[in-house]
């Protein structure tokens, strides 16, 4: 199959769902069919689909596919109350697939509210239809939200980082971590959406992508998206970020790239005070931005997230549950063989072990960046900045 960035394919006619298998990217583009909530749960848990918005959308659509089969296509005597109970049970099951990203539990809460509000009107089939339509609407809204985040973030960064005296072709470079692009969402992306938007505006000189150990979303997925869109970019390992930021005039290997002035990351959950859980390794980038941010040579650290990633019910980052992934994801790597110096396109993918057998492993999937280190939280509804006391007021976005 030819290369694609479309992570989620939902056919609204026959109500079938397919997702791009992100375990096989970037070498193989293959869709897997999601036929029910069990398939949805397994795809999310195994990271066949990942990224906070994509997880929530796939969970909701997997429920839509199941409801369509059970209560719309097949004749049913279930009443609305019974369908509501069924929906709530399935949502409770789906939210257990991954704990940190709030988008999934928020989608579950919204759908729970929808069925509770409508369980006394109409038939079971009518209620199933309502949930299916709501799940479809999530898919549609996400792309528009991401484009707005891209626009808001690019405008903010240009205003912050380029002085009125800068020439009309002045540029800066950006650094990002994990994958926050089309593959992590319904399309376009959040942090990667800002990079896409900045590149289109002609103000982005170069993008650096952190490899994002241990799961390599940066080297496998973000790098794939950047190459696909032909955005000038360089891959670094996570522990090269300080060396990269130290290059205030020149890029690596002596190339004259504009210095990195923007570090832009996604979010799995933004707490009420702005503390942000995102891919492990994010916090250290925020510390770096603070360290290198000097008068006359600004480095800004920006979180890009749809408002569905903001959790006003979680007071601070200390209350966010951080998922721990299985040990094997850190010590094993999977991919095609390299034969004669070339990536073999037709070899079976193989798994190799890259650590000393027997060593204990800690594998948290996310860390929490304190709001004190965050300059702005860019959403589809606008950009939140801290007040003079150093506090975010995220309520104003709702
Ligand atoms: O473990 P993952 O790959 O699901 O982690 C993804 C991230 O941390 C992203 O930065 C976040 O979900 C935002 S995606 C738009």
337 CA from centroid of ligand 1 (Å):
27
User: CA–CA separation, 35 vs 15, rounded Å?
Assistant: 10
pLDDT band at 254 (very low <50, low <70, confident <90, very high): confident
Average pLDDT of the segment spanning 235-247: 96
- SS3 category, 1: coil
52 CA from centroid of ligand 1 (Å):
5
Residue 325: which region, alpha, beta or left (left: phi > 0; alpha: psi -120 to 50)? beta
Q: Whose CA is nearest to atom 15 of ligand 1?
A: 180
* Substitution site in 106, 175, 216, 267 for ligand 1 pocket (most atoms within 8 Å of beta carbon): 267
What does the block give as tokens for 189? Answer: 């992306």
Q: Which atom of ligand 1 is nearest to the CA of 98?
A: 4
24 CA from centroid of ligand 1 (Å):
17
Average pLDDT of the segment spanning 314-319: 98
- pLDDT tens digits for 78-109? 999 999 999 999 999 999 999 999 999 999 99
- pLDDT tens digits for 119-145? 998 899 999 999 999 999 999 999 999
Instruction: List, chain by chain if needed, residues with CB within 6 Å of any ligand 1 atom.
Output: 50-53, 101, 178, 180, 184-185, 190, 217, 266-268, 278-279, 365
- pLDDT tens digits for 12-58? 999 999 999 999 999 999 999 999 999 999 999 999 999 999 999 99
Q: Is pLDDT above 90 for 346?
A: no
Active site residues per annotation: 268
Average pLDDT of the segment spanning 366-394: 98
User: CA–CA separation, 196 vs 274, rounded Å?
Assistant: 24
What are the structural domains of the chain? 8-141 (1.20.120.420), 165-397 (3.40.50.10470)
Model pLDDT, residue 252? 74
Residue labelled with tokens 């528009």: 144
Model pLDDT, residue 179? 98
Q: Is pLDDT above 80 for 235?
A: yes
- Residue 349 DSSP symbol: P
The strand ranges marked E within the chain are 8-11, 16-20, 31-34, 172-176, 204-210, 233-236, 260-265, 269-271, 276-279, 300-304, 310-311, 332-335, 338-339, 342-343, 350-353, 366-369, 376-379, 382-385
Alpha carbon dihedral 336, 221, 57, 384, in 10-degree steps, equals 160
User: CA–CA separation, 330 vs 185, rounded Å?
Assistant: 24
56 CA from centroid of ligand 1 (Å):
12
Q: Is pLDDT above 90 for 76?
A: no
Q: Which atom of ligand 1 is nearest to the CA of 185?
A: 15
- SS3 category, 71: helix
User: CA–CA separation, 210 vs 65, rounded Å?
Assistant: 36
The strand ranges marked E within 12-128 are 16-20, 31-34
pTM of the full structure: 0.96
Q: Whose CA is nearest to atom 6 of ligand 1?
A: 51
Residue closest to 37 by CA, chosen among 65, 12, 14, 10: 65
């Amino acid at each position: 199959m030819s290369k694609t960035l479309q992570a989620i394919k939902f056919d609204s006619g026959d109500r079938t769902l397919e997702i791009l298998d992100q375990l096989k990217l970037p070498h193989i583009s293959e869709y897997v069919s999601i036929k029910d909530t069990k398939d949805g749960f397994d795809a999310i848990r195994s990271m066949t689909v990942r990224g906070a918005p994509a997880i929530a959308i796939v969970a909701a659509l997997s429920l839509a596919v199941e409801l369509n089969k059970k209560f719309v296509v097949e004749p049913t005597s279930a009443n609305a109350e019974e369908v509501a109970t069924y929906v709530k049970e399935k949502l409770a099951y789906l939210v257990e697939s991954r704990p940190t990203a709030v988008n999934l539990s928020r989608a579950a809460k919204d759908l729970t509210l929808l069925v509770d509000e409508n369980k006394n009107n109409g038939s079971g089939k009518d209620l199933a239809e309502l949930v299916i339509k709501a799940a479809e609407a999530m898919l549609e809204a996400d792309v528009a939200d991401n484009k707005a985040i891209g626009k808001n973030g690019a405008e903010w960064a240009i205003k912050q980082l380029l002085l009125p005296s800068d020439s009309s072709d002045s540029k800066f470079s950006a650094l990002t971590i994990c994958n926050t692009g089309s593959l992590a969402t319904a399309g376009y992306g959040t942090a990667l959406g800002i990079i896409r938007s900045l590149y289109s505006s002609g103000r982005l000189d170069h993008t650096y992508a952190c490899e994002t150990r241990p799961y390599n979303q940066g080297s496998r997925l973000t790098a794939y998206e950047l190459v696909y869109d032909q955005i000038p970019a360089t891959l670094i390992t996570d522990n090269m970020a300080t060396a990269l930021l130290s290059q205030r005039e020149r890029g690596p290997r002596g190339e004259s790239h504009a210095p990195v002035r923007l570090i832009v990351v996604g979010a799995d959950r933004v707490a009420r005070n702005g503390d942000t859980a995102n891919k492990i390794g994010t916090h250290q980038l925020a510390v770096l931005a603070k360290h290198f941010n000097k008068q006359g040579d600004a480095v800004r650290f920006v979180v890009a997230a749809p408002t569905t990633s903001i959790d006003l019910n979680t007071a601070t980052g200390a209350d966010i549950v951080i998922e721990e992934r299985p040990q094997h994801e850190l010590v094993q790597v999977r991919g095609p063989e390299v034969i004669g110096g070339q990536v073999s396109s037709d070899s079976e993918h193989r798994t190799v072990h890259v650590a000393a057998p027997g060593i204990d492993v800690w594998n948290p999937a996310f860390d929490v960046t304190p709001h004190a280190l965050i300059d702005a939280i860019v959403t589809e509804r606008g950009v939140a900045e801290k007040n003079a006391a150093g506090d975010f007021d995220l309520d104003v976005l709702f």
